[in-house]
Protein backbone atom coordinates (compact mmCIF):
# COMPACT_ATOMS: atom_id res chain seq x y z
CA UNK A 1 0.00 0.00 0.00
CA UNK A 2 1.20 3.49 -0.76
CA UNK A 3 0.85 5.87 2.16
CA UNK A 4 0.65 9.57 1.47
CA UNK A 5 3.23 10.67 4.04
CA UNK A 6 5.95 12.93 2.60
CA UNK A 7 3.91 13.54 -0.56
CA UNK A 8 4.32 16.75 -2.56
CA UNK A 9 1.93 19.54 -1.66
CA UNK A 10 0.23 19.28 -5.08
CA UNK A 11 -0.71 15.65 -4.41
CA UNK A 12 -2.07 16.53 -0.97
CA UNK A 13 -4.06 19.42 -2.43
CA UNK A 14 -5.52 17.14 -5.11
CA UNK A 15 -6.56 14.60 -2.49
CA UNK A 16 -8.15 17.29 -0.34
CA UNK A 17 -10.05 18.64 -3.36
CA UNK A 18 -11.24 15.10 -4.19
CA UNK A 19 -12.57 14.67 -0.66
CA UNK A 20 -14.17 18.10 -0.39
CA UNK A 21 -15.57 18.56 -3.89
CA UNK A 22 -16.34 15.00 -5.02
CA UNK A 23 -16.95 12.81 -1.98
CA UNK A 24 -18.49 15.11 0.63
CA UNK A 25 -20.73 16.90 -1.86
CA UNK A 26 -22.08 13.54 -3.07
CA UNK A 27 -22.94 12.26 0.41
CA UNK A 28 -19.80 10.27 1.23
CA UNK A 29 -19.11 11.69 4.69
CA UNK A 30 -18.13 8.65 6.75
CA UNK A 31 -14.91 9.73 8.53
CA UNK A 32 -13.29 6.31 8.09
CA UNK A 33 -13.95 6.34 4.31
CA UNK A 34 -12.52 9.84 3.95
CA UNK A 35 -9.50 8.91 6.09
CA UNK A 36 -8.82 5.81 3.97
CA UNK A 37 -9.06 7.76 0.73
CA UNK A 38 -6.86 10.51 2.12
CA UNK A 39 -4.23 7.95 3.17
CA UNK A 40 -3.76 6.16 -0.19
CA UNK A 41 -2.23 7.98 -3.16
CA UNK A 42 -4.34 7.33 -6.28
CA UNK A 43 -1.60 8.55 -8.59
CA UNK A 44 0.53 5.54 -7.68
CA UNK A 45 -2.05 3.20 -9.24
CA UNK A 46 -2.26 4.70 -12.74
CA UNK A 47 0.25 4.83 -15.62
CA UNK A 48 2.70 7.74 -15.47
CA UNK A 49 1.15 9.33 -18.57
CA UNK A 50 -2.22 9.83 -16.82
CA UNK A 51 -1.10 10.64 -13.27
CA UNK A 52 -2.38 14.20 -13.63
CA UNK A 53 -5.88 12.75 -14.05
CA UNK A 54 -5.74 10.45 -11.00
CA UNK A 55 -8.07 12.63 -8.93
CA UNK A 56 -10.53 13.68 -11.63
CA UNK A 57 -14.18 12.75 -11.22
CA UNK A 58 -14.13 10.12 -13.98
CA UNK A 59 -12.61 6.73 -14.65
CA UNK A 60 -8.92 6.74 -15.61
CA UNK A 61 -7.71 4.28 -18.30
CA UNK A 62 -5.13 1.79 -17.06
CA UNK A 63 -4.57 -0.01 -20.37
CA UNK A 64 -5.80 -3.37 -21.68
CA UNK A 65 -9.40 -2.17 -21.39
CA UNK A 66 -9.16 -1.64 -17.62
CA UNK A 67 -10.01 1.52 -15.70
CA UNK A 68 -9.47 3.00 -12.25
CA UNK A 69 -13.00 3.97 -11.23
CA UNK A 70 -13.75 7.56 -10.28
CA UNK A 71 -13.12 8.44 -6.61
CA UNK A 72 -16.86 8.64 -5.90
CA UNK A 73 -17.32 5.03 -7.04
CA UNK A 74 -14.71 3.75 -4.61
CA UNK A 75 -16.03 5.99 -1.84
CA UNK A 76 -19.57 4.68 -2.30
CA UNK A 77 -18.37 1.05 -2.56
CA UNK A 78 -16.52 1.39 0.75
CA UNK A 79 -19.37 3.19 2.49
CA UNK A 80 -21.87 0.54 1.40
CA UNK A 81 -19.55 -2.37 2.25
CA UNK A 82 -18.87 -1.13 5.81
CA UNK A 83 -15.75 -3.31 6.14
CA UNK A 84 -14.65 -4.25 9.66
CA UNK A 85 -11.71 -6.03 11.23
CA UNK A 86 -13.99 -9.05 11.69
CA UNK A 87 -14.42 -9.45 7.92
CA UNK A 88 -12.79 -12.10 5.80
CA UNK A 89 -13.02 -10.25 2.50
CA UNK A 90 -12.67 -11.16 -1.16
CA UNK A 91 -11.93 -8.48 -3.74
CA UNK A 92 -12.75 -9.19 -7.35
CA UNK A 93 -10.18 -6.98 -8.99
CA UNK A 94 -6.51 -6.13 -8.83
CA UNK A 95 -5.03 -7.39 -5.56
CA UNK A 96 -2.24 -4.82 -5.94
CA UNK A 97 -4.56 -2.01 -7.05
CA UNK A 98 -6.10 1.06 -5.45
CA UNK A 99 -9.25 -0.53 -4.04
CA UNK A 100 -7.19 -3.32 -2.47
CA UNK A 101 -4.98 -0.69 -0.83
CA UNK A 102 -8.08 0.99 0.58
CA UNK A 103 -9.67 -2.23 1.83
CA UNK A 104 -6.70 -4.14 3.23
CA UNK A 105 -6.27 -2.12 6.48
CA UNK A 106 -10.03 -2.11 7.11
CA UNK A 107 -10.66 -5.89 7.12
CA UNK A 108 -9.32 -8.86 9.04
CA UNK A 109 -8.04 -10.51 5.85
CA UNK A 110 -8.25 -9.74 2.15
CA UNK A 111 -7.95 -12.16 -0.74
CA UNK A 112 -8.19 -11.05 -4.36
CA UNK A 113 -9.17 -12.78 -7.56
CA UNK A 114 -8.94 -11.43 -11.10
CA UNK A 115 -12.31 -10.88 -12.80
CA UNK A 116 -11.46 -13.50 -15.45
CA UNK A 117 -11.02 -16.17 -12.74
CA UNK A 118 -14.01 -15.27 -10.56
CA UNK A 119 -16.55 -17.35 -12.50
CA UNK A 120 -14.46 -20.50 -12.15
CA UNK A 121 -13.89 -20.48 -8.39
CA UNK A 122 -14.47 -23.91 -6.89
CA UNK A 123 -16.19 -25.00 -3.71
CA UNK A 124 -17.99 -23.05 -1.02
CA UNK A 125 -16.31 -20.01 0.49
CA UNK A 126 -16.65 -18.43 3.89
CA UNK A 127 -16.16 -14.79 2.98
CA UNK A 128 -18.21 -12.36 5.02
CA UNK A 129 -17.67 -9.61 2.43
CA UNK A 130 -17.17 -9.62 -1.34
CA UNK A 131 -16.40 -6.37 -3.16
CA UNK A 132 -16.37 -6.30 -6.95
CA UNK A 133 -14.33 -3.46 -8.45
CA UNK A 134 -16.54 -2.80 -11.46
CA UNK A 135 -20.03 -3.31 -12.84
CA UNK A 136 -21.41 -6.74 -13.72
CA UNK A 137 -24.40 -7.85 -15.75
CA UNK A 138 -24.69 -11.19 -14.00
CA UNK A 139 -23.25 -12.67 -10.79
CA UNK A 140 -21.73 -16.09 -11.52
CA UNK A 141 -23.00 -18.84 -9.22
CA UNK A 142 -19.41 -19.84 -8.44
CA UNK A 143 -18.69 -16.36 -7.10
CA UNK A 144 -21.92 -16.15 -5.12
CA UNK A 145 -21.03 -19.50 -3.54
CA UNK A 146 -17.92 -17.93 -2.01
CA UNK A 147 -20.09 -15.78 0.26
CA UNK A 148 -20.90 -17.14 3.71
CA UNK A 149 -24.51 -17.27 4.84
CA UNK A 150 -25.44 -13.73 5.89
CA UNK A 151 -22.37 -12.35 4.11
CA UNK A 152 -22.45 -9.08 2.19
CA UNK A 153 -21.63 -8.26 -1.40
CA UNK A 154 -21.14 -4.82 -2.97
CA UNK A 155 -20.71 -4.28 -6.70
CA UNK A 156 -21.71 -2.28 -9.70
CA UNK A 157 -24.66 -3.67 -11.65
CA UNK A 158 -25.44 -3.09 -15.33
CA UNK A 159 -29.15 -2.91 -16.13
CA UNK A 160 -30.26 -1.91 -19.63
CA UNK A 161 -26.94 -0.20 -20.23
CA UNK A 162 -27.06 1.85 -17.00
CA UNK A 163 -24.59 1.15 -14.19
CA UNK A 164 -25.74 1.30 -10.59
CA UNK A 165 -24.20 0.66 -7.21
CA UNK A 166 -25.74 -2.52 -5.80
CA UNK A 167 -25.52 -4.47 -2.58
CA UNK A 168 -26.86 -7.75 -1.28
CA UNK A 169 -26.57 -10.59 1.20
CA UNK A 170 -26.56 -14.34 1.00
CA UNK A 171 -29.69 -15.77 2.60
CA UNK A 172 -30.97 -19.35 2.39
CA UNK A 173 -28.12 -20.12 0.00
CA UNK A 174 -29.13 -17.43 -2.49
CA UNK A 175 -27.57 -14.05 -3.25
CA UNK A 176 -29.87 -11.22 -4.30
CA UNK A 177 -28.57 -7.81 -5.40
CA UNK A 178 -30.49 -4.61 -4.75
CA UNK A 179 -29.67 -1.65 -7.04
CA UNK A 180 -29.09 1.45 -4.91
CA UNK A 181 -28.04 4.42 -7.03
CA UNK A 182 -27.02 5.28 -10.58
CA UNK A 183 -23.26 5.66 -10.71
CA UNK A 184 -20.78 5.66 -13.59
CA UNK A 185 -18.93 2.40 -12.84
CA UNK A 186 -16.51 0.79 -15.33
CA UNK A 187 -18.06 -2.38 -16.75
CA UNK A 188 -16.30 -5.74 -16.34
CA UNK A 189 -16.79 -7.63 -19.64
CA UNK A 190 -16.04 -10.95 -17.89
CA UNK A 191 -19.44 -10.69 -16.17
CA UNK A 192 -21.58 -10.13 -19.26
CA UNK A 193 -24.89 -11.96 -19.23
CA UNK A 194 -25.36 -14.64 -21.91
CA UNK A 195 -27.07 -13.28 -25.02
CA UNK A 196 -30.74 -14.21 -25.08
CA UNK A 197 -33.31 -14.06 -27.84
CA UNK A 198 -35.88 -11.30 -27.53
CA UNK A 199 -38.92 -10.44 -29.63
Overall pTM surpassing 0.85 (yes/no):
yes
| Nearest in space to 16 (alpha carbons), one of 88, 71, 86, 80 | 71
Give per-residue pLDDT as tens, 70-88: 999 999 999 999 999 999 9
Give per-residue pLDDT as tens, 38-54: 999 999 999 999 999 99
Q: Above 80 in pLDDT, residue 199?
A: no
Question: Which CATH architecture does the domain made up of 9-188 adopt?
Answer: 3-Layer(aba) Sandwich (3.40)
Give the DSSP letter string of 119-168. Answer: TT--S---EEEEEEEEEESS--HHHHTTEEEEEEEEEEEEETTEEEEEEE
Count of other CB atoms within 10 angstroms of residue 113: 18
Segments making up each domain of the chain, as ranges: 9-188
pLDDT at 193: 80
> Taking the alpha carbons of 67, 155, 107, 38 in that order, is the dihedral positive or negative?
positive
Amino acid sequence: MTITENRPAASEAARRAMIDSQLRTSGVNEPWVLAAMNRVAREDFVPAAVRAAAYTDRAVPLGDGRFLAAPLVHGRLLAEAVPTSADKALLVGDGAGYLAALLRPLVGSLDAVAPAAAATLAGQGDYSLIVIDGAIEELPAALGAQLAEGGRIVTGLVERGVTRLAAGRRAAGEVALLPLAELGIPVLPEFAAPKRWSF
